């Protein structure tokens, strides 16, 4: 299906704003991007023979798999001032590119985007991770919210603390 430039631009703009809120620790703003019916998850990956990888496999180990209450719990921890991994606040930068709207109508959309996340924190080497997200957006009144975010990480061995991606 063809997606208009305006629709692609709308979701690009939303993703960029979301990243800006997160990278600047504006957690109230950031949380507002996520729907109450949220699933926020990152499946684990293996190197298997071609064609064998199945990220939708039942009961697959996930690096994270949270609903909205779990997501909020993690944010509460991150913002408590008590979390050594996040104090002093790390510098992060999320570069969001390759925005591909798979489908969109007036109330739902599915959008893929690539990310690179850079992180600098005392005691750690500066590190970047890359991958893509597959977001399912839902329209709530005037706003679009992320109802499902699947984060697919390309690194086989994680080498940094990833916090809440």
Partner 1 sequence: MERPKLPAVGDRRTDPTVFFDPGLFEEEQGKIFGRCWLFLAHESQLPNNGDFVTTAMGYEPIIVWRGRDGVIRAFINSCRHRGMKICRVDHGTAKVLSCPYHAWSFSAEGKLTGVPSRERYPESFDPNDWGLIPVPKLRNYHGFIFGSLAENGESFEDYLGEFKYYFDVIARRTEAGYDLLPGKQTWRMKVNWKLGAEQTSGDNYHAPYAHRSIAALGFLGDMKEFAKRGLENDFQVGERGHGLIVLGHPIPPNAPEGFEEYEHAVREDARRRLSPTQANLTTSGLILSVFPNLVFILYLGGMSLRYYQPVSTEETELIYWTLVDHGAPAWRRDMSRREVGRSYNALGIIDSDDAEMWMGCMQGLRGHYRRKFPLNYDLGRATVHRENERPGSIDSTPSEVGVFGFWERWQELMREPAEA
Identified binder of partner 1 from the candidate list 60, 75, 100, 152, rule CB under 8 A: 60
- Does 31 bind partner 1 (CB under 8 A)? Our answer is no
> What separation, in Å, do the N-terminal and C-terminal C-alpha atoms of the chain show?
30
Output 3 or 64, the one with its CB closest to partner 1: 64
Output 13 or 87, the one with its CB closest to partner 1: 87
State the nearest-atom distance from the C-beta of 45 to partner 1, in Å: 8
State the nearest-atom distance from the C-beta of 60 to partner 1, in Å: 4
Query: In angstroms, what CA-CA distances link 76 with 8, 61, 66, 83, 121?
Result: 32, 24, 14, 10, 20
DSSP 8-state class, residue 122: T
- Does 16 bind partner 1 (CB under 8 A)? Our answer is no
- Contact predicate 148/38, CB 8 Å: yes
State the nearest-atom distance from the C-beta of 34 to partner 1, in Å: 17
Segment 79-98, which members bind partner 1 (CB under 8 A)?
80, 82-85
The residue with tokens 């990152």 is 42
In terms of Cα–Cα distance, which of 112, 129, 136, 107 is closest to 12?
112
In terms of Cα–Cα distance, which of 61, 71, 72, 91 is closest to 158?
61
State the nearest-atom distance from the C-beta of 106 to partner 1, in Å: 33
Identified binder of partner 1 from the candidate list 6, 28, 59, 105, rule CB under 8 A: 59
- Does 106 bind partner 1 (CB under 8 A)? Our answer is no
- Does 32 bind partner 1 (CB under 8 A)? Our answer is no
Phi-psi domain of 112 (left: phi exceeds 0; alpha: psi -120 through 50; beta: other):
beta
- What does the binding site for partner 1 look like in residue numbers (CB under 8 A)? 42-49, 52, 57, 59-66, 69-70, 73-74, 76-77, 80, 82-85, 123-125, 156-165
């Amino acid at each position: 299906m063809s997606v208009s430039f305006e629709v692609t631009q709308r979701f690009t703009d939303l993703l960029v704003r979301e990243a800006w809120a997160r990278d600047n620790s504006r957690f109230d703003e950031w949380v507002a991007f996520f729907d109450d019916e949220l699933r926020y998850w990152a499946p684990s990956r293996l190197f298997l023979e071609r064609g064998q990888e199945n990220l939708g496999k039942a009961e697959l180990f996930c690096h994270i798999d949270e609903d909205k209450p779990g997501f909020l719990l993690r944010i509460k921890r991150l913002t408590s001032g008590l979390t050594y991994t996040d104090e002093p606040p790390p510098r992060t930068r999320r570069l969001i590119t390759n925005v591909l709207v798979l489908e969109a109508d007036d109330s739902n959309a599915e959008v893929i985007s690539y990310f690179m996340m850079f992180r600098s924190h005392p005691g750690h080497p500066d590190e970047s991770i890359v991958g893509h997200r597959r977001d399912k957006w839902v329209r709530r009144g005037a706003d679009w919210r992320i109802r499902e975010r699947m984060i697919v990480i390309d690194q086989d061995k994680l080498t940094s603390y990833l916090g809440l991606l």
